[in-house]
A and B are shown apart, each in its own frame.
Chain A
Amino acid sequence: MRPNLGLRLRALADNPVQFALFGYNLDRHRLLAFGLAGVFATASSLVTAYDIGFDPHTGLNEVLLAVVAAIIGGRGSFMGAFVGALLLGTLRAQVVWYWSARWEEAATFALLALFLLIRPQGLLGQKYRLEAAA
């Protein structure tokens, strides 16, 4: 594995066709990205299972929360994911503490809607036109 893997994955995200034209193997990089993501998601699922146990429906909820955290932190930014996850976790805990656990999900997704509306690039992400990125 050559050391510029991060660079190559970012190039793949930016423009897959151009990436393939430079002679890189598209499918192998995609497989690698999914595999790595799976490995690290497994690490977090082990912690969850150790803490509160697991059932087949846990996965989807957790992943949706992770997506929300990644968006509000800023996609494509390492510190962004960190800050986003911390912010989201704190917010959810505060909602339960001051208000009610019934509004936990609503608060999470209201925050997501707010970010998509006002700051779609997230807290630390680079600014770009959404229309071009999609």
Chain B
Amino acid sequence: MNYLLHLLVYFDIFLIVALSLNLLVGYCGMLTLAQAGCYAVGAYAYALLSLQPGWGFIPAALTGAVIAAVLSMAVSLPAWRLRGDFFVLASLAVQTLILSGLYNWSSANAPLGSWRNLTNGSFGISGILRASILGCQISGSATFALFATLVAVVCAFVLWRLQTSPWGRLLIAMRDDDLAARGLGKNTRLAKVQAVALSCGLSAVAGSLYAAHVRYVDPSSASLDESILMLSMVIVGGLGNFRGPVVGAAILLLLPEVLRFLPFPDAQAANLRLLISGALLVLMMHFRPQGIAGSHRMQ
């Protein structure tokens, strides 16, 4: 039962990430590799704020979201000028800089959480407190799973309302023809900044959930592999609508879990997982470029 609850929490986390990434990749057409960076910023913000000043989940997660939204300008401002491959590279640069920052903002002889040793480098931060809301701590795993599902539903609702709003249609228009949208008097630069900030903020909330669930963070949650996993969830599931990322998050989350129960030795199962997700991506690109349940075909 605990195992299933753990899976549910992970599904909630990746649901938020995949839906928010879909806002960028599917609706704005901006293939970003910096999403794991924002996710890790959220996780670290929650870890530090809950350890030192002892904040509850909601203010800590919101602070993390605001920090990630401000940092996301490093992705959205280049998007004013750069497109296609160049934008992917710019977002990769941001991602690598965040990862380096998390790895190196540390010093061996300063206490954890002080200005000189903010992230504790490659050792990560352990012993993060369980989430507490309005002063009362969530102790049971069932309660936490319920809470995570609640957060995911709220995030999904916000994204759904925004994507079906005129603002969502502006993003689609911008994706299909930036020049035409500008010609019709829409401020596409502002829309890009808003969309990236929103998406990164929501990923940071997912990161906070992750830190509160696993209760340990280290810089590897900002790694390029993590970004690629998030991206493949969106691409396998489908771009440009609401159900695609849900399907993608479920498939890529359940794939290693299914392999766990098949009779393979552990050493092979890890490689098999990479093999299957790689083959899945190649096959999807060939036979169904819009993803399993997607509606937008990436150029």
Contacts and interface: CB of A to CB of B under 8 A. Distances in A.
Interface of A: 60, 64, 67-68, 71, 100, 102-103, 105-106, 108-110, 112-113, 116-117, 120, 130-131, 133-134
A134 B100 CA distance: 29
Interface residues of B, number: 21
B96 A60 contact: no
Nearest to A110: B97
22 contacts: A64-B92, A67-B89, A102-B100, A103-B100, A105-B96, A110-B93, A110-B97, A112-B90, A113-B93, A113-B94, A113-B97, A116-B82, A117-B78, A120-B82, A130-B82, A130-B86, A131-B81, A131-B83, A133-B84, A134-B84, A134-B85, A134-B87
* Residue from the set A64, A100, A105, A109 with the largest chain B CB neighbour count within 10 Å: A109
Nearest to A114: B93
B216 interface: no
* Residue from the set B78, B85, B93, B99 with the largest chain A CB neighbour count within 10 Å: B93
A106 B94 CA distance: 9
* Residue from the set A110, A112, A113 with the largest chain B CB neighbour count within 10 Å: A113
Given A71-B89, A106-B100, A130-B86, 15 more contacts: A60-B224, A67-B89, A100-B104, A105-B96, A109-B92, A112-B90, A113-B90, A116-B82, A116-B86, A116-B90, A117-B78, A120-B81, A130-B82, A130-B83, A134-B84
B103 interface: yes
A100 B89 CA distance: 24
Contacts of B86: 71, 116, 120, 130, 134
